[in-house]
Amino acid sequence: MTTTTTETAPTADRPGVAAIAPAGTGPARRGRGVRHALVLARRNLIKTARTPEALIDVTLQPIIFLALFTYIFGGAVAGGDQQSYLQFLLPGLLGQTIATASVSLGQNLNSDIEKGVFDRFRSLPISRSAPLIGAVLADVVRYLILFVVLIGVGTLMGFDPTNGWVPVLGALALSMGFALSFGWVSVWVGTLARTPGAVQGVMFLLVLPLSFGSNTFVPVETMPGWLQAFVNVNPISHLVGAARGLMLGGPVQSHLLWTLGWMAVLLAVFFPLALRGYRRRA
């Protein structure tokens, strides 16, 4: 009697099987997770490139805000000296607009969930958090576009960074870091709301008090005492204070420490909430 032995080739040698092998542990697994997130970030950038109107909030909107506040309100706020108000306004607008540009992040995420895109992601051998991290990383390009537009138009209007351009890049890095942390709030709301319009409504209820109840547009000393108490703990105020100090000179350390502290709190609280909401919804 002859016994035939059939050997099974290792799964790694079969085409396509290696791609769905277990992710492993340790640095290799983290490395794969980073690659997955970067691939999905590229997917989001391609999607944005095909719908350029989605960039209105980081192109036309900052120009309108800068011109509107400088030429309409600047005379009243700065006693007729619009140029000095431009110097005061632009660093604040840089921090505030980059931080709040993440509103669209939750809207896009909610839209993808409703269309079933994330159901397809779940069938892929990727980290569960990779689609969320990829969406947030893709926003870095949007922040860079906003920075170039705002600084370019501001320079044409007469803005002069008295501390030099290297501190301006430091202000950009800090603003982007805060925006990436604050973006998880938008992601969390995007996993909870039923429609993209609801995400926008909820986020604007949060963003508007933080933006206008800050030192972005007017000095804190001009506000009533009860409002100053809110402004002094507002994370946008500390971000703006740090950006203004870096670009124009002035106190930076206290505002920087406050901003870093707020970034740590936002990440510690809203990243797990966003991940939990995504797992429940997607």
> How confident is the prediction along the chain (282 residues), in pLDDT tens digits per residue?
444 444 444 434 433 333 333 445 556 666 777 888 888 888 888 888 888 887 888 899 899 999 999 998 888 887 778 899 999 999 999 988 988 888 888 888 888 888 888 778 777 788 777 888 888 888 889 999 999 999 999 999 999 999 999 999 999 999 999 999 999 999 999 999 989 889 989 999 999 999 999 999 999 998 999 999 999 999 999 999 999 999 999 899 999 999 999 999 999 999 999 989 888 876
Task: Tell me the residue length of the chain.
Answer: 282
Find all residues with CB under 8 Å of 235, minimum gap 6, and list them.
178, 182, 210, 258, 259, 262, 266
Which is nearest to 105 in space by CA: 155, 58, 156?
58
